[in-house]
A and B are shown apart, each in its own frame.
Chain A
Amino acid sequence: MIRELSYIDVLYLIAATRWTLALTAIAFLGGGIVGLAIALLRVSSLAPLRWLGAIYVHAVQGTPLLAWLFVFFFGLSIFGFTVSPWLAAAAAYSIYAGAFLGEIWRGCLQAIPRTQWEAGASLGLGFTQQLRYIIVPQALRLAIPPTVGFLVQLIKNTSLAAVIGFIELTREGQLTTATTFRPFTVYLIVAAIYFALCFPLTQWSRRLERRLHVAR
């Protein structure tokens, strides 16, 4: 049945945005933890650990996120495991975001000159101390713009979770379009909501970057 598009539909869209945000938060948190581990593996002084990190990154970057969602949600149920959509989404997004964040952060860590590590080592600091007091503080500043850039991608990529049953912003837009048959207006509203989420983030990132520059 086709009905008119009303402000109620807009409220539904805004309500669905909370799932977009919740998925983003989970993905970023899980991805952050995995990413940190991957970045550290990738700068390790032990070659096998570096390879492990590299294999992970290449494997995940070379496969679609959609496939990971399917594997965790439908794939595991074949073996008799019932996986809740939240758990499946958390696992798939953490794996996916972890690979990309890991690569971003590895790049930032490696952008700090070798000589900074050397200066730390020469003063008697161990690997983790060099990392914590010398490398990470400098890498952090470099990491902010690309990390926020990826976060913005992540917000938009949470729409893929619709395939395992999440009614987040894009899926809600689809449903609203189906009942009102006003795709142009509906998707314009959807786009506006995405923009309202992403734009402040990029602005915040620029401010943060400037502030860290002043404070060194």
Chain B
Amino acid sequence: MSLVELKNVVKRYGENTVLNGVSLSVEKGEIIAIIGRSGSGKSTMLRCVNGLEPIQGGTVAFDGTVVNDPATDLRKLRQHVGIVFQSFNLFPHLSVEKNITLAPKVVKGVPPAEARTLAEAVLRKVGLAEKIDAYPDQLSGGQQQRVAIARSLAMQPQLMLFDEITSALDPELVGEVLKVLEEVAREGMTMMLVTHEIGFARKVANRVVFMHEGKIWEEGPAAETLGRPHTPELETFLSAVLH
């Protein structure tokens, strides 16, 4: 059974159809890069996976649980599906430690001392062990995003969603965040990432999904799909972003 299974997903905002029958399965351990123009529906698709976006048709399933079933306990589901946002969304009133330990403590009931150790461990993973007592506004954008990744990792999710996590960063800070992503990927995490970093997608992803007009236009193994696009839309897109 696939870890993530999207079947004919339809998402509308009023008259505007953002996802128009999207089907995709993601196996455990796979790394999927989702590319496409802005407005092609890639972020929306990602947000459907952890139930942040209600859908109007089709089904989204995670590990056998139907996400869009009203009876599904989304809180439970989200403990297993981490998401990192473009704009970091750290909690500005909490220290780095508290940002990371809030959910483990409140949602999972991890005792405070253990939570601190957990925070230290995930911060080491993203290379920010010395920032444990800092506040978000004392960190650079790249550091904030790494803390956001650490915060997500602390919940020990089975799947991680990354929503254009380098798009809001200054160019010189992109590298440090991608390095952390690679590290997470190496450890075998199942990942779905919406990205504009084509080079990174080619290097790290197993599979690339190209979205266009609310549909999956083209998908396949990363190197092959990016190297020899079958559709003129992907070709145009790649030549636009690559030069």
Contacts and interface: CB of A to CB of B under 8 A. Distances in A.
Contacts of A138: 91-93
Most chain B beta-carbon neighbours within 10 Å: one of A120, A121, A123, A137: A123
Given A122-B82, A124-B75, A216-B135, A116 B103 contact: no
A125 interface: yes
Contacts, number: 58
B52 A124 contact: no
B78 A121 contact: yes
Contact of B107 (A115, A118, A129, A216): A129
Contact of A125 (B83, B92, B93, B103): B103
A46 to B, nearest CB: 14
Interface residues of A, number: 18
Given A115-B87, A118-B52, A121-B52, A216 B92 contact: yes
Q: DSSP majority for the A interface? A: helix
Contact of A118 (B79, B89, B106, B151): B89
A126 interface: yes
Contact of A137 (B87, B89, B93, B155): B93
A134 interface: yes
Interface in B40-81: 50, 52, 74-76, 78-79, 81
Given A122-B52, A123-B151, A124-B78, 12 more contacts: A119-B85, A119-B90, A121-B74, A122-B50, A122-B81, A122-B82, A123-B79, A123-B102, A123-B107, A124-B79, A125-B107, A133-B102
> 6 tightest CB-CB pairs across the interface, nearest first?
A123-B103, A119-B89, A124-B79, A124-B107, A124-B78, A122-B83
Interface of B: 50, 52, 74-76, 78-79, 81-83, 85, 87, 89-93, 102-103, 106-107, 135, 137, 151-152, 155
Interface of A: 115-116, 118-126, 129, 133-134, 137-138, 141, 216
